[in-house]
Amino acid sequence: MKSIHKFFIFLVSLLVSYQSLAISSTLTGMQLGDDAAPLTIVEYRSLTCSHCADFSNNIFPEIKEKYIDTGKIKFEVRPFALNAIDLNAFKLLHCTDEKDFFAMEKLLFQDQKKWIVTKQSDRVLENSTDALRTYSTLFSISEDEFNSCMENEEITDFILTMRIDAVEDYDVSSTPSFIIDGDLYSGNMSFSEFEKIIEKKIN
């Protein structure tokens, strides 16, 4: 708990005033599914978390097919940045057009081991950010737009605030964490575990 408390203080110290820059409309939790669905699931995820990548790549597609596409649940994803690389990756994600948000997120999870560059231990952040620059071009983000995105304090403020709110409101301390009907479930659960929880909640 001490380390969580220290990081919380660190995040508060990073919160800065808004800048009047044009930003993406994705400065919110991004949602899939029917607003009228009987159950809402909120996932707090990290783009550098291997368990989050496993969930996104292997478990979420089944949840989407059986529950989101059929109108049974609404699913919302929120950032929970664990480190500076994570923060920059989330910045890029929230600089994309809203229509491209989930496509870029899916690609970043699929290629997680490619853009997190661990060689040259003293330049992990710089090298990983440069790798992210390459992904930005796939979604028509120019180099100038990428640089502006990395410097955009409003996006930074949003991402850090989302983490602080997760800790304060739900006691989230790890990723992935899921808020299902107001209850916290932590860890990369299997589809069958999700199925049991969802069926119990909606029936």
CATH code of residue 169: 3.40.30.10
Contact of 80 with 158, CB cutoff 8 Å? no
What pTM does this model have?
A: 0.85
21 domain-assigned: no
Task: Answer yes or no: are the C-beta atoms of 72 and 202 closer than 8 Å.
Answer: yes
What pLDDT is stored for residue 24 in this prediction? 43
DSSP state of 12: H
Q: State the residue range of the domain holding 141.
A: 2-14+33-202
Question: Domain for residue 19, yes or no?
Answer: no
163 in a structural domain: yes
- Say if 57 falls within a structural domain: yes
Collect all residues with Cβ–Cβ distance below 8 Å to 18 and sequence separation of at least 6: 153, 154, 157
> Which residue, chain included where needed, has tokens 């989230």?
172
pLDDT at 196: 97
Q: From CA 141, how far away is CA 158, in angstroms rounded?
A: 20
Q: Is residue 27 part of a domain?
A: no
> What pLDDT shows up at residue 65?
97
Task: Determine contact, residues 131/90, Cβ cutoff 8 Å.
Answer: no
- Given a contact cutoff of 8 angstroms between Cβ atoms, the answer to whether 87 and 104 are in contact is no
Q: What is the mean pLDDT of each run of 10 residues along the chain (203 residues)?
A: 45 40 59 95 97 97 97 96 96 93 96 94 94 95 96 93 95 97 94 96 90
C-alpha triplet 76, 79, 83: angle, nearest 5° = 160
Tell how far CA 106 is from the center of its chain. Answer: 11
Residue 20 lies in a domain: no
Burial of 17 (0-12, 13-18, 19+ CB in 10 A): exposed
Most distant CA pair in the chain, distance: 52
Number of domains in the chain: 1
The tokens describing 105, both together, are 């997120």
Residue 160 located in a structural domain: yes
